[in-house]
């Protein structure tokens, strides 16, 4: 389903966990827009029941991985019940070893939420008090410090996040200065927790960080694929392209749903464009970057949808190890395996990288055609006095540079592996690398598309903007509310940032959705 028909995350004030898996928009509401988190009674009961099983296993001194044994290759070492709590504290401290630049606020909050989702399914055996403390961090804007480099898929980043729950590590409260974990908790009226059996392992294990960061990338992608169609429609008007290449009959003979969706979206955007109508027969056939939009954008739509399906499945999964599986009302079994493996998310994130770079490569070409007087009938670099002014010459360089960076980031991470843990974990997913790359690529695409929108608005200033479609005119007015016409050279960086912000915060999509609805064009 198109993101255009969904509720914007900014309007969601609270996300209740427990009765169903949170939607992508709810994740963004918490991670990006500070929505509160609470638990349903069903959530709380699942957690309590699972905890009772773990405590029974410990009292019976059952051999359970990570509860009465060491971790990884240390599984050979049996841990006595009296050391169960110490074992969990040790894994948190010893695993907090990621390095480099810290994760940003929305990445940390998304991971915290994903931990609550995963451990709240009732297969992890943690106490409700632990999950309430994590929710307390979210609801009080406590953002733990977590270096973002050096993970093969899980463990290290999560270790830094878990330290704060012990009153250790570092955190920021409401965007303030870094303080130690105990001080951060005290500032918001929370207290450190003493970890008990299974809890340290449960917080570090699984696909929580890779899923969370991939969700952020996915949401950016869902926005961008719609903006890409809009930007292409505006460029088509500016370059006097023919709408004939978007004929529904033509796309009906190609058995790809995404292609037909993109073609239909652009027809809807341009339904009342006099520029499109006037130029329908201007050329028999346009350049590839104009006439192949449905095919190129449609392919990206298809694989973004694939990634969404896979990521949503992971949200609905338990990635813990071992799984505490209930058998009847008061007994259960601990099953060890590899549900923590991130291959599903890694492959999805790698796919997002390629799908988004595919959108960027055709967007940059449309931008070039608008600024390049050798290929358009517009003034060189879209300025009235070229030569003295460079106009949008170097803005196109920025799009080209971003595209080059996206290409470099799009080599798949999941094809690689380096054995770890005394060769106990002999393949690793490298899903974390894939997720971080997808997040970066999604942000770069927003800037590439913002540049196309910015350039298209400037190009339309050399035509009759009043003859553009009602959707185009509304987006043009939005851009011009922050970016004036470039009559001569100026510093264009603030202009790019302004339009990128309008894209990222949903303003552009809000106009697209409202205008299509007002014109009775179905938003699918």
Q: Return the active site residues.
A: 65
Q: What gap in Å lies between CA 399 and CA 404, rounded to an integer?
A: 9
- Dihedral angle sign, alpha carbons of residues 160, 164, 167, 169: positive
Q: Residues near 494 by Cβ (< 8 Å), separated by ≥ 6? A: none
Output the CA angle 73-76-81, nearest 5 degrees. 115
420-424 long-range contacts (CB < 8 A, ≥24 apart) are: 420/152, 421/72, 421/73, 422/72, 422/73, 423/73, 424/72, 424/73, 424/75
DSSP state of 379: P
d(CA 29, CA 35): 5
Asked if 203 and 158 touch (Cβ cutoff 8 Å), the reply is: yes
- Rounded CA separation 135/141 (Å): 10
Q: Which residues make Cβ contacts (< 8 Å) with residue 325, sequence separation at least 6?
A: 123, 332, 333, 334, 335
Please identify which residue in the block is written with the tokens 């093969």: 152
Residue that is written with structure tokens 């023919």 in the block: 242
**Structure-block tokens of residue 415:** 């094809």
Pairing assessment for the beta strands 99-102 and 147-149 based on DSSP bridges:
antiparallel
E-state strands within 57-187: 99-102, 142-144, 147-149, 170-173, 179-180
Instruction: Tokens for 399, please give them.
Output: 């799009």
For residue 68, CA distances in Å to 60, 395, 522 come to 11, 60, 58
**Helix 493-504, helix 470-480: angle, nearest 10:** 130
Q: Which two tokens stand for residue 137?
A: 């961090």
Q: Tokens 């005119």 — which residue?
A: 473
Alpha carbon distance 335, 226 (integer Å): 43
Task: Tell me how far apart the alpha carbons of residues 168 and 93 are, in angstroms, rounded to a whole number.
Answer: 9
Tokens read off for 475: 């987006």
The CA distance from 415 to 237, in Å, is 42
Count how many Cα atoms sit within 13 Å of the Cα of residue 307 in the half-sphere of its side chain.
Answer: 33
């Amino acid at each position: 389903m198109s993101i255009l028909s969904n509720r914007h995350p900014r309007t969601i004030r609270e996300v209740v966990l427990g009765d169903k898996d949170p939607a992508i928009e709810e994740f963004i509401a918490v991670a990006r827009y500070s929505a509160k988190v609470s638990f349903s009674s069903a959530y709380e009961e699942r957690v309590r029941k699972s905890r009772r099983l773990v405590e029974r296993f410990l009292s019976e001194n059952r051999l359970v991985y990570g509860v009465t044994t060491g971790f990884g290759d240390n599984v050979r070492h049996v841990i006595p019940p009296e050391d169960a709590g110490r074992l969990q504290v040790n894994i948190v401290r010893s695993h907090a070893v990621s390095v480099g630049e810290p994760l940003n606020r929305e990445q940390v909050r998304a991971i915290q939420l994903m931990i609550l989702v995963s451990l709240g399914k009732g297969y992890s055996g943690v106490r409700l008090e632990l999950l309430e403390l994590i929710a307390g961090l979210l609801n009080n804007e406590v953002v733990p410090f977590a270096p973002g480099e050096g993970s093969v898929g899980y463990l290290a980043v999560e270790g830094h996040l878990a330290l704060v729950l012990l009153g250790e590590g570092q955190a920021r409260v409401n965007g303030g200065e870094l303080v130690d974990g105990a001080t951060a908790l005290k500032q918001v009226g929370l207290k450190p927790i003493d970890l008990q059996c299974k809890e340290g392992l449960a917080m570090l294990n699984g696909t929580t960080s890779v899923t969370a960061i991939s969700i952020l990338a996915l949401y950016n992608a869902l926005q961008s694929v719609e903006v890409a169609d809009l930007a292409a429609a505006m460029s088509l008007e500016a370059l006097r392209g023919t709408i004939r290449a978007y004929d529904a009959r033509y796309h009906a003979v190609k058995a790809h749903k995404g292609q037909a969706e993109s073609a239909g979206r652009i027809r809807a955007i341009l339904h009342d464009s006099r520029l499109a109508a006037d130029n329908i027969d201007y050329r028999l056939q346009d350049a590839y970057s104009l006439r192949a939009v449905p095919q190129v954008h449609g392919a990206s739509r298809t694989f973004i949808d694939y990634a969404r399906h896979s990521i949503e499945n992971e949200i609905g999964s338990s990635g813990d190890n071992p799984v505490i599986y209930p058998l009847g009302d008061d007994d259960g079994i601990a099953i060890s395996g590899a549900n923590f493996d991130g291959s599903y998310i890694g492959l999805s994130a790698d796919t997002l990288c390629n799908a988004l770079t595919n959108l960027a490569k055709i967007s940059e070409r449309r931008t070039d055609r608008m600024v390049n007087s050798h290929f358009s009938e517009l003034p060189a670099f879209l300025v009235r006095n070229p030569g003295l002014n460079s106009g949008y010459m170097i803005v196109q360089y920025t799009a080209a540079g971003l595209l080059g960076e996206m290409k470099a980031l799009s080599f798949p991470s999941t094809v690689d592996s380096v054995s770890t843990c005394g060769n106990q974990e002999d393949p690793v997913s490298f899903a974390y690398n894939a997720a971080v790359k997808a997040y970066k690529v999604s942000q770069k695409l927003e800037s590439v598309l913002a540049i196309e929108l910015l350039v298209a608005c400037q190009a339309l200033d050399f035509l009759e903007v009043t003859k553009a479609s009602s959707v185009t005119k509304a987006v043009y007015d939005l851009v011009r509310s922050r970016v004036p016409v470039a009559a001569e050279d100026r510093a264009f960086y603030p202009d790019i940032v302004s339009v990128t912000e309008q894209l990222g915060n949903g303003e552009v999509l809000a106009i697209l959705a409202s205008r299509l609805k007002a014109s009775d064009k179905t938003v699918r």
